[in-house]
A and B are shown apart, each in its own frame.
Chain A
Amino acid sequence: MASAREEILARIKAARVPPAAPVVRGYNRQGPSSVELFAERVADYRAIVHTVSGVPEFLTSLRGKRIVAPADVPAEWLVDGVTWLHEPLSIEELDQADGVLTGCAVAIADTGTIVLDGGEAQGRRALTLLPDYHLCVVRADQIAGSVPEALARLEPTRPLTFISGPSATSDIELNRVEGVHGPRTLEVLIVT
């Protein structure tokens, strides 16, 4: 008997689907990558947004808290008065932290999205998932205008997480409610 793989591939061939027309990409590939638009769209999804000129000044608001930070965040972010938690961290330790501070790989102005790729200042995926508060620093030059521009800047084989606002659900009467399993508070710091 043929294997499932061989049989499925043979059935596809037997269907003799004719070649398709070439794809016409007539849609907009670029969008305005403005800080203002990004800030407005992030705020639309009930994330808290600040536009600042320096990160450390803002971080004093974290004093007294236990905050996870990937090992490679800029040293100046690790301000005094905060209990910084670094890897290795267990799932329980992450779950009990007050929050997490990261950078990002790319942001998208059109949709108010931040994208993490596990690269610089981001850490592994669980770091930004278990703490109930996520503070994400976005540099103005990381903001792409559109979804196509953002995807072109990303390396698809890295583990990617696209985040647009705090966790939410539309499952009760199709109305959006913020705050389910992911961080219930998302704060975005745009550095110009």
Chain B
Amino acid sequence: MARNPVTWLGSPTFPKAAHKALADTQLRQNLRKATGTIRARRAAAVAEMTDWEMLRVAGEQIKDDVLARLDTLLVQLEESVTARGGVVHWARDAEEANRIVLDLCRAQNAAEVVKVKSMATAEIGLNEALEAGGVHAIETDLAELIVQLGDDRPSHILVPAIHRNRSEIREIFQRRMGVEVSDEPADLAEAARVYLREKFLTTKVAISGANFAVADTGSIVVLESEGNGRMCLTLPETLITVMGIEKLVPTWQDLEVFLQLLPRSSTAERMNPYTSVWTGVTPGDGPQQFHLVLIDNGRTQTLEDSIGRQALRCIRCSACLNVCPVYERTGGQSYGSVYPGPIGAILTPQLVGDMHDKQAASLPFASSLCGACFEVCPVRIDIPSVLTHLRAEVVEAKGRTAESVAMSAAAWIFASASRYEKAQKAGSLARFLAKDGKITSLPWPGSKWTSSRDVPAPPQESFRTWWRKNRG
């Protein structure tokens, strides 16, 4: 079977990539600023809702129900879409999906297609596959356009160019669009408007993803902000939508939950500027040919894992990225996948499905297990639990290693109060190794731990010793 393009070929393991990213002070500054802004705004948007927890619980339950009845609901969706004039295609993996889309473009003699931002198409490497087949895909979402024009890779689920600040974006636009533009966000947005206008008005084929598909009506839902989505979904003659098989909701009513959860979690808005809903083909309004491509690409193997399958509840809001202390420091590209951050750390290795793949297997360790991701997740994915579950699978696949030996030793020490205390006293010797109150290298087997993170220097007196002396 061909390799799953959800991870980028040749990417280093997470610790290696993170090591490099941490040295990039500009990147850290850009990320700190952007994630700091959105964190505060999301908290305010959520605080307005007195029923937020009930919405999260309902979101979780609806998605769990989808996973439990996935085969029935997919067949129902297929029937509803077909009944309204759409054509449904199925693809086992990226290669198959890309071939279906390329054939559809060729059938329309399309040399160029416009695209609405879509994680599914990024996951399967559709743009590259189309290019190889002689079809040029134009990304129309502002952040995707920045990534495409900068010959760059995405680093965030919602804002793929989050690692770029305004002056870097200005530089890319000036170089690739050949225009003079200031670094004011409003001017940069205007430049994108002018650059893409002609493409929107003349291109005959559009490709989109889907935020939701309603099984009982066949309606497809896309949320966006800029109006590039509306352009692609309305003006071309042919629309091809690519979606993961888990993006379903059973009924129209279920959308009332997600249309509240997603905008507030994602862009911290009560509602995003534009949401489009269409069902098959509407005579006289919008594309008169509609194709829906359903992709598996590792989802059914993820579904088999009773703990890991909750990752398939994800609605791609990216709230977990914005609160993650690891993501904020390493940036998204360190994860070597279109799905970075906490959700990427559990979704990517499961989609790859090979715990012997060193890069994918390093991702479940890209976390401090602080739990902030679980707290903000609108569909209550218990990311820390899935991380530890996947770590165990990785360790099992690897057999016994220095780190697993160190971990078993740690477990033995933590299991007994007296052993723990003795170990702490022994550990206070480690102060001699500390620089700036941090230990940057421990002797083996501790070196397996400090090779990718610093250990705070233990205090000269442990809390237990201090307690006994002062309060005991």
- A-to-B contact residues, CB < 8 Å: 3-5, 7-9, 11-15, 17-29, 41, 44-45, 91-92, 95, 108, 110-113, 118, 124-126, 129, 147-148, 151-152, 156-183
User: Can you list 8 A-B pairs, Cβ within 8 angstroms, ordered by A?
Assistant: A4-B92, A17-B309, A23-B58, A125-B286, A129-B234, A167-B273, A180-B193, A180-B227
Docked Cα-Cα span, A53 to B276, in Å, equals 31
Interface presence of B17 (CB below 8 A): no
Docked Cα-Cα span, A26 to B294, in Å, equals 32
Least distance between A66 CB and chain B CB atoms (Å) = 18
Contact, CB under 8 Å: B230 / A13: no
The one of B34, B146, B225, B235 that contacts A168, using a Cβ cutoff of 8 Å: B225
Docked Cα-Cα span, A47 to B252, in Å, equals 28
Docked Cα-Cα span, A108 to B225, in Å, equals 18
Contact, CB under 8 Å: B64 / A160: no
The one of A9, A19, A111, A174 that contacts B271, using a Cβ cutoff of 8 Å: A111
Interface presence of B102 (CB below 8 A): no
Least distance between A98 CB and chain B CB atoms (Å) = 16
Least distance between B12 CB and chain A CB atoms (Å) = 27
Docked Cα-Cα span, A177 to B184, in Å, equals 10
Contact, CB under 8 Å: B92 / A164: no
Which residues of chain B come closer than 8 Å to A126, judged between CB atoms? 234-235, 285-286
Interface presence of B13 (CB below 8 A): no
Interface presence of B385 (CB below 8 A): no
The count of residues in chain B whose C-beta lies closer than 8 Å to any C-beta of chain A is 96
- The interface stretch among B70-78, B351-359, B376-384, B422-430 is B70-78
- 9 closest A-B pairs by beta carbon, nearest first, are A182-B227, A181-B227, A11-B300, A180-B226, A162-B275, A111-B271, A171-B143, A160-B277, A167-B227
Contact, CB under 8 Å: B300 / A173: no
Which residues of chain B come closer than 8 Å to A183, judged between CB atoms? 227
Scan B184-222; emit 1 where CB is below 8 A from any A CB, else 0.
Answer: 011011101100110011000000000000100111000
Q: Which of B332-359 contact A (CB under 8 A)?
A: none
Most buried by B among A14, A95, A158: A158
Which residues of chain A come closer than 8 Å to B282, judged between CB atoms? 118, 158-159
Add 15 more A-B contacts to A23-B254, A24-B58 (CB < 8 A): A8-B294, A12-B71, A17-B67, A21-B64, A111-B271, A124-B286, A126-B285, A160-B276, A163-B273, A164-B272, A167-B226, A168-B225, A174-B38, A180-B189, A181-B231
The one of B70, B192, B270, B286 that contacts A180, using a Cβ cutoff of 8 Å: B192
Contact, CB under 8 Å: A21 / B61: yes
